[in-house]
Amino acid sequence: MRVKSPLEVYRFLPQINCAECGETTCMAFAARLIDRSKKLEDCPPLLKDEFKSKYLELARLLAPEIREIVIGTGEHAKKVGGDDVLYRHQLTFFNPPLLAYDVEDTLDDKALVERVKKIHDFKKFYVGRFLKLNGVAVRAISGDRTKFAAAVKKVAETTPLPIILCSLDPAILRAGVEAVKDRKPLIYAANETNWKEVAALALEFNLPVVLFSENLDTLKSLAVSFAEMGIKEIVLDPGTYPAGKKLRESFQRFLNLRRAGIKEGQKDVALPLMAVPMTAWFVENDPVNASYWETVLASVFIVRYADIMILHSLEPYALLPELHLRDTIYTDPRTPVKVNPGVFEVGAPTKDSPVIVTTNFALTYYTVESDLSSNKVNCYLAAVDTDGIGVEAAVAGGQLTAAKIKDTFSKAGFDFKEKTSHSTLIIPGLAARLQGDAEDATGLKVKVGPPDSGRIPGWLEKNWPPK
């Protein structure tokens, strides 16, 4: 992205403040283009012939520094690449890495289906959403194109997730492609030996392709050749060695490629990158050690700068660190993680159930909700809009006030006389100083709960129902 501020974008917009884009002004729309929450096509006037030159120029200026490509089809298709910065605090990282877990074509049908289902079905609820795996990498271990094609077809029948076809033999790759050509699989990989045949395959079926070489000059040469042939969806794999000096060299190649693409403007290599942490299994014999080291490698390359990974271990102790780190690194640091404000039911509350207040900072809200639901506390839980700030900081900064607490219940249409028999509100212990103001603002009885939501069940045993 060659424009960094809304003012730079505004110069190319119609500047008529028509609000057809959903924003009140063209300047507001410009800000949305910068953070990618809006697209150029959301501005109808900009699509008219009179603004065509500005539209084309702005499209060029807004294009990400790292090319964005799509793997797979339908709702499970994954965008990879598309970043503009080296460090997330400068803007944010977009398009979290696609995590693909391998299956081998030597597995029998039952074992293959079981493993694919395990990949497809895995999910972990975290801060209001489910963390999931994204793809299946089918590895041609047998060397038999018929076996590979059958395995690929079985994978496609079992899951709609994106598929990566892994072989250095163009004939085997072709067999796999023909089995799932309508699913837009990623071809892995072209190297300096097979590149002509793999390029022909990618062109014939219009598919994204991975180029592999540990030599960055060779990798760049391959990328230039494929681009000149008209292949636009290219991923670079500079090699992932799992230990020692080779690991340090692998890490340095990732850094060099991403810096070349963003800082130096070398568009030939400004492409998504692939890491293969499953190489840990080639040097570790013990499954626990291999899973551990694979997770370490995945963590390294999530941070710097893999857009796609091929992994093996499906053990929860390996998956959870990978998924949580990816979620953390690819959360926009400029925007607090928050839930919609409102009043929500936990369990099956009655008129005698407590009404508890917290903030709409997602981590706070879901921690409180989890502590209540896991202890089978039936209640109403109010999430006050504090701009996604936790209780203590929101009280200190003025984001959590008595007026906002009252406003939360008013906007939710929550009538205490109708919904409760006690007209009592419980506020967090860390917001104790708001007790008097909250009573004055709401006309309710306000009790101060514990500072830690984990203590709420014990506190309720002693303090509920209110006397």
Across-strand partners of 79?
A: 70
Residue 5 predicted with pLDDT over 90: no
Q: How high is the pLDDT of residue 88?
A: 87
**Nearest alpha-carbon partner for 220 in 264, 254, 270:** 270
Q: Which two tokens stand for residue 169?
A: 């033999």
Across-strand partners of 165?
A: 138, 187
Instruction: Confirm whether 223 is domain-assigned.
Output: yes
In terms of domains, do 456 and 400 share one?
Answer: yes
Average pLDDT of the residues in 136-141? 98
Q: How high is the pLDDT of residue 387?
A: 93
Domains contained in the chain, number: 3
In terms of domains, do 122 and 78 share one?
Answer: yes
Rounded distance between C-alpha atoms, residue 197 and residue 204, angstroms: 11
In terms of domains, do 187 and 285 share one?
Answer: yes
β 78-81/68-71 pair status: antiparallel
In terms of domains, do 45 and 115 share one?
Answer: no
Q: How high is the pLDDT of residue 335?
A: 81
Average pLDDT of the residues in 196-225? 98
pLDDT band of residue 334 (cuts 50, 70, 90) is confident
In terms of domains, do 183 and 302 share one?
Answer: yes
Longest CA–CA span in the chain (Å) reads 82
Residue 330, judged by CB atoms within 10 A of its CB (0-12, 13-18, 19+), counts as middle
Q: How high is the pLDDT of residue 296?
A: 97
Instruction: Confirm whether 1 is domain-assigned.
Output: no
Q: How high is the pLDDT of residue 467?
A: 81
Identify the CATH number of the domain in which residue 420 sits: 3.40.50.11600
Average pLDDT of the residues in 173-186? 97
405: domain range? 342-463
Identify the CATH number of the domain in which residue 317 sits: 3.20.20.20
DSSP-derived 3-state class of residue 52 = helix
Of 281, 303, 329, the residue that ends a domain is: 329
In terms of domains, do 285 and 386 share one?
Answer: no
Q: How high is the pLDDT of residue 314?
A: 98
Instruction: Confirm whether 441 is domain-assigned.
Output: yes
Q: Which two tokens stand for residue 186?
A: 């990623």
Instruction: Confirm whether 122 is domain-assigned.
Output: yes
- CB of 453 closer than 8 Å to CB of 413: no
395 or 127, which is more confident:
395
pLDDT, tens only, 292-322: 999 999 999 999 999 999 999 999 999 999 9
Of 307, 329, 351, the residue that ends a domain is: 329
Instruction: Confirm whether 135 is domain-assigned.
Output: yes
Instruction: Confirm whether 334 is domain-assigned.
Output: no
Q: How high is the pLDDT of residue 91?
A: 83
Across-strand partners of 446?
A: 425
Of 300, 329, 358, the residue that ends a domain is: 329
Write down the pTM of the prediction: 0.87
- In percent, how much of the chain has pLDDT > 90? 93
In terms of domains, do 50 and 120 share one?
Answer: no
pLDDT band of residue 444 (cuts 50, 70, 90) is very high
Identify the CATH number of the domain in which residue 46 sits: 1.10.15.40
In terms of domains, do 429 and 300 share one?
Answer: no
Q: How high is the pLDDT of residue 8?
A: 92
pLDDT, tens only, 217-254: 999 999 999 999 999 999 999 999 999 999 999 999 99
In terms of domains, do 153 and 16 share one?
Answer: no
Rounded distance between C-alpha atoms, residue 386 and residue 389, angstroms: 5
Instruction: Confirm whether 260 is domain-assigned.
Output: yes
Q: How high is the pLDDT of residue 388?
A: 94
- In percent, how much of the chain has pLDDT > 70? 100
DSSP-derived 3-state class of residue 163 = strand
- The pLDDT mean for the chain works out to 95
In terms of domains, do 265 and 363 share one?
Answer: no
pLDDT, tens only, 252-297: 999 999 999 999 989 999 999 999 999 999 999 899 999 999 999 9
pLDDT band of residue 336 (cuts 50, 70, 90) is confident
In terms of domains, do 78 and 166 share one?
Answer: yes
What is the dihedral sign for C-alpha 441, 445, 448, 449? negative
Residue 1 predicted with pLDDT over 90: no
4 or 446, which is more confident:
446
In terms of domains, do 79 and 41 share one?
Answer: no
pLDDT, tens only, 377-435: 999 999 999 999 999 999 999 999 999 999 999 999 999 999 999 999 999 999 999 99
Q: What angle do helix axes 195-205 and 216-228 make, rounded to 10 degrees?
A: 40
Q: How high is the pLDDT of residue 181?
A: 94
Instruction: Confirm whether 422 is domain-assigned.
Output: yes
Q: Which amino acid, residue 139?
A: R
